[in-house]
Amino acid sequence: MLKTHNCGELRSSHSGQSVTLAGWVHRRRDHGGLIFIDLRDRDGLTQVVFNPEVSGGAHAVATGLRSEFVIQIIGRVEKRPSGTENSKLPTGEIEVLADEIKIYNASKTPPFYINEEVDVDESLLLRYRYLQLRRATLRDNMLLRHKVIKFMRDFLDGRGFVEIETPIMIKSTPEGARDYLVPSRVHPGKFYALPQSPQQLKQLLMVAGFEKYYQVARCFRDEDLRADRQPEFTQLDLEMSFVDEEDILVLLEELFTSLIETVTPAIRLIKPFARMAYAEVMDRFGTDKPDIRFGLEIKDISAILADSEFVVFKSALQNNGTVRGICLPGCAGYSHKQVEDLTGIARNCGAKGLISIAWTAGDGRQDVNSLQMEKIKSVVAKHIKAEDMKQVLEVFKASPGDLLLIAAGDRGLVNRVLDELRREMAKRLDLCDPDLMSFVFITDFPLFDWSEERKAWDSTHHPFTAPFESDIPLLEADPGKVRARHYDIVCNGYELSSGSIRIHNRALQEKVFNILGYGKQEVEDKFGSFLEALEYGAPPHGGIAPGIDRLLMLLTNSKTIRDVIAFPKNQAAADVMTDAPSAISDQQLAELHLRITGD
Ligand code: ASP
C-alpha cells in the first residue's frame, strides 16, 4: 500500500518509528517557521509537522497545500512536546515530523467546510455528496451501517438462515404503493416492476424448501416522500417455514437486543420488548406507531360526559364519536397564545378546535377531593358539574398545575389530533430520551381496513397475511372483524417492520383476493403462478422485514433517513448529484416503444 499506517492509528508507543501516511489535508496551520497539517483518512486524524530545518524541500511543498489536497508523507513519529497534547484526538499524544511529501492531487476549494459541520443548504450537500461523505458524521454513519449489516448477517447465519438474492426486475407485488416500472425493449408495450419488496419471491423460496431465508433487500416504492422515506430503501427481509408468530418475534427481539448491545452499547434498551394489541395502542396512543418512551397517554372521558349539554361534546357523542384528551404536566400556566398554537396543530389535523382545561396551582396541597372549581380555567368549566370535573381529573391522574387538552369528534380524527399533540408536546417538554430505544411489538391487527375512497376493503398489511384461524368463518360475513396474524415492530414512534404469518392455502388466498375486490381474471393475471405454487405442498410460513435505514436513523439519532444512506434521493425523489431522473434520447425511446406525450 501507499501507506504503512492509518491516520487514527499512531500512539506514543510508535515514537521513533518511520511511517508513511496518505490522506487528505483536513486543516493547515502556518505558524511562521512551522507548518502543521491535520492529515485525514477514513480512520482518523494525525498531526504532521513540516519543519524547514528537518526538510527544507518538504516544507516548501507544504506551503502550497490547501484543504482537501490528497498527499503522502514519510516521516518520524514523535511525542508531542509536553503541554501540546490533544486529549480529544486518539492520536493526540504524537505528531509526525515530515521528511518527504508527495502531492497526489490538488483539490478545488470545497463548496462547504468538511472539517466543520456547518449547516448549509441540503441540495448543495447532496450535489457534492462525495464531499459530504468525507465529513465525520456521514462517514461514521456509513461505518456503523456496515457494522450493523455485518452483525445481522452473522447473527442469521449462526441460526441457519441462507442468504438468497431475488431479482430486481419482476412482476408487480403489491405493498400498497405505486410501482417503479421498467419498459421492456424485447416485449413491446410490456413492463417489469421493481420490487416493492421480495414478498412473493421469499414465499416461493419457502415453497422451494429453503426453510430459513434472508436477504439485505433493496425495495422500491413510488410514494410521497417524508423524512423517514426514500424511493429506494433497504430491508432485512426474512422468511421462515414451520413457525408461528412467537418464533418470529423472539428471533427479532434477540436480533435487535444483541445487535444494539454489541454495536451501539451506549444506547439503552427497555427489556423485554413491550407487547400490545392493536386496539390497545390505538386506545392509549391514538396511533399504531407509538413512542412509549414517555407517558402523556390518551384517556377517554366520553362516559363521564355522556350527559353533558356542552354542544361540542354532545354532538360528538351523539354522532358515535368520542371525547378524549391528554394531560400536560405543569402546563396550566400556558398563555392564550401557547394554547392557540396547540389548537393550530389540532386544526392542521382536521379538527375544528381543541378544548383546554387548566387546573391552576394553588397552595400545593390541593387534591381532587378538595377541588375548588374556581381553580379550573376553561371554556367548559361552567358546563361540567364539579363531580364530573373531579372524575375527569382523576382519569388523567392530574395534579394542580396541569393542563388537559381535549378533542371531541370522530374517533379517527380525535386519535390523529391527540397523537400529533402528544408527540409535539413530548418534544417541547423534552420528554424523549435520545439514548433510549423503546421497542413495541404490536399484534392482533385487523386483516382489512375499509377505504372510504375506494369504498372497498384494503389489506392492513398485504394480501398474503393469514387471518386468525378462528376468524376465518367471519371472512365473508364480517370482514372488518377478522383479525390478522400480522405483527409490527415499532421503536420510538417509527414503524421498523411489518410481518405476518402467511396464507399457504390456495382457496383461502383466493378468498382474500376476492374480498379485496380483485376479479377472477385479474387474480389469474397478477397472481396465477403464485397461487399455483401454493398447490404444490406450500409449508406453513411467515416472516418480517425490518427497515435497515430506519433502524440506522434511530441508532444514529439522525433527523432524516438520508443521513444513513450513501447516495440518497432528495425530497422530490431526484438524485441531484448525477441528475436522475433525466431525459433519454429519441433513439432509446424508440427502442423501448415509448412516446412522451407531455401531459
Ligand atoms: N414484505 C413486507 C413489507 O415490506 C414484510 C413482510 O411481510 O415480510 O412490509
Name 81's Cβ contacts closer than 8 Å, sequence gap at least 6. Answer: none
Nearest CA residue ID for atom 9, ligand 1: 498
Q: Strand pairing partners for 213?
A: 162, 239
pLDDT of residue 98: 97
Q: How far is the CA of 41 from the centre of ligand 1 (A)?
A: 39
pLDDT of residue 376: 87
* pLDDT at residue 599 is higher than 70: no
Report the pLDDT averaged over residues 487-512.
Answer: 96
Contact call for residues 231 and 225 (beta carbons, < 8 A): yes
The number of C-alpha atoms within 13 Å of 491 and in the hemisphere containing its C-beta is 31
Q: What is the helix (H) or strand (E) element at residue 402, kind and residue range?
A: none
Q: What is the pLDDT of residues 22-35, one digit of tens each?
A: 999 999 999 888 99
The number of C-alpha atoms within 13 Å of 371 and in the hemisphere containing its C-beta is 23
- Candidates 480, 482, 489; CA nearest to 442 is 489
* pLDDT at residue 269 is higher than 60: yes
Q: Report the C-alpha gap between 442 and 289 in whole angstroms.
A: 9
pLDDT of residue 86: 95
Name 433's Cβ contacts closer than 8 Å, sequence gap at least 6. Answer: 268, 293
Output the nine-digit C-alpha cell for 463: 394480501
Q: Which atom of ligand 1 is nearest to the CA of 500?
A: 7
Q: How far is the CA of 253 from the centre of ligand 1 (A)?
A: 17
Output the nine-digit C-alpha cell for 558: 439522525
Q: What is the pLDDT of residues 458-476, one digit of tens each?
A: 999 999 999 999 999 999 9
- Where residue 365 falls among pLDDT bands split at 50, 70, 90? low
Q: Which atom of ligand 1 is nearest to the CA of 219?
A: 4
Q: Which atom of ligand 1 is nearest to the CA of 465?
A: 7
- Candidates 239, 246, 164, 168; CA nearest to 443 is 246
499 lines ligand 1 (CB under 6 A): yes
- Candidates 261, 269, 265, 264; CA nearest to 293 is 269
Q: Strand pairing partners for 18?
A: 76
- Candidates 297, 256, 296; CA nearest to 273 is 256
Contact call for residues 515 and 471 (beta carbons, < 8 A): no
pLDDT of residue 452: 86
Q: What is the pLDDT of residues 78-90, one digit of tens each?
A: 999 999 999 999 9
* pLDDT at residue 425 is higher than 80: yes
Cα angle for residues 431, 435, 440 (degrees, 5° grid)? 75
- Candidates 419, 471, 481, 477; CA nearest to 450 is 481
Least confident of 95-104, 273-282, 358-367, 462-471: 358-367
Nearest CA residue ID for atom 4, ligand 1: 197
Q: Which residues of 262-288 are buried (b: 16+ CB within 10 A; e: fewer)?
A: eebeebebeeebeebebeebbbbbbbb
The number of C-alpha atoms within 13 Å of 406 and in the hemisphere containing its C-beta is 25
Distances (CA, A) of 95 to 34, 46, 116, 142: 13, 7, 22, 28
- Tell me whether the omega of the peptide bond preceding residue 479 falls within 30 degrees of 0, making it cis: no
Per DSSP, the three-state class of 130 is: helix
pTM of the model: 0.92
Q: Report the C-alpha gap between 399 and 392 in whole angstroms.
A: 12
Query: Residue type at 218?
Result: R
Residue matched to cell numbers 407517558: 295
558 lines ligand 1 (CB under 6 A): no
Output the nine-digit C-alpha cell for 142: 456509513
Q: Report the C-alpha gap between 69 and 578 in whole angstroms.
A: 24
Report the pLDDT averaged over residues 270-277.
Answer: 96
* pLDDT at residue 370 is higher than 90: no
Share of the chain above pLDDT 90, in %: 88
Q: What is the pLDDT of residues 562-596, one digit of tens each?
A: 999 999 999 999 999 999 999 999 999 999 999 99
Contact call for residues 171 and 192 (beta carbons, < 8 A): yes
Q: What is the pLDDT of residues 128-174, one digit of tens each?
A: 999 999 999 999 999 999 999 999 999 999 999 999 999 999 987 76
Nearest CA residue ID for atom 7, ligand 1: 499
Q: Which atom of ligand 1 is nearest to the CA of 497?
A: 9
Contact call for residues 107 and 70 (beta carbons, < 8 A): yes
* pLDDT at residue 209 is higher than 70: yes
488 lines ligand 1 (CB under 6 A): no
Q: What is the dihedral of CA 95, 10, 113, 57, to 10 degrees?
A: 40
Backbone torsions φ then ψ of 330, nearest 5 degrees: 70, 15
Output the nine-digit C-alpha cell for 157: 447465519
544 lines ligand 1 (CB under 6 A): yes
Report the pLDDT averaged over residues 448-454.
Answer: 90
* pLDDT at residue 483 is higher than 60: yes
Question: Mutate which of 175, 459, 486 to test ligand 1's pocket (most atoms within 8 Å of Cβ)?
Answer: 175
Share of the chain above pLDDT 70, in %: 99
**Residue/partner pairs of 468-473 with CB below 8 Å, 24 or more apart:** 471/447, 472/508
Q: Report the C-alpha gap between 209 and 216 in whole angstroms.
A: 20
Residue matched to cell numbers 530545518: 53
* pLDDT at residue 305 is higher than 70: yes
Report the pLDDT averaged over residues 83-106.
Answer: 96
Q: What is the helix (H) or strand (E) element at residue 421, kind and residue range?
A: helix 411-428
* pLDDT at residue 221 is higher than 60: yes
Contact call for residues 257 and 424 (beta carbons, < 8 A): no
493 lines ligand 1 (CB under 6 A): no
173 lines ligand 1 (CB under 6 A): no
Output the nine-digit C-alpha cell for 22: 496518505
- Where residue 363 falls among pLDDT bands split at 50, 70, 90? low
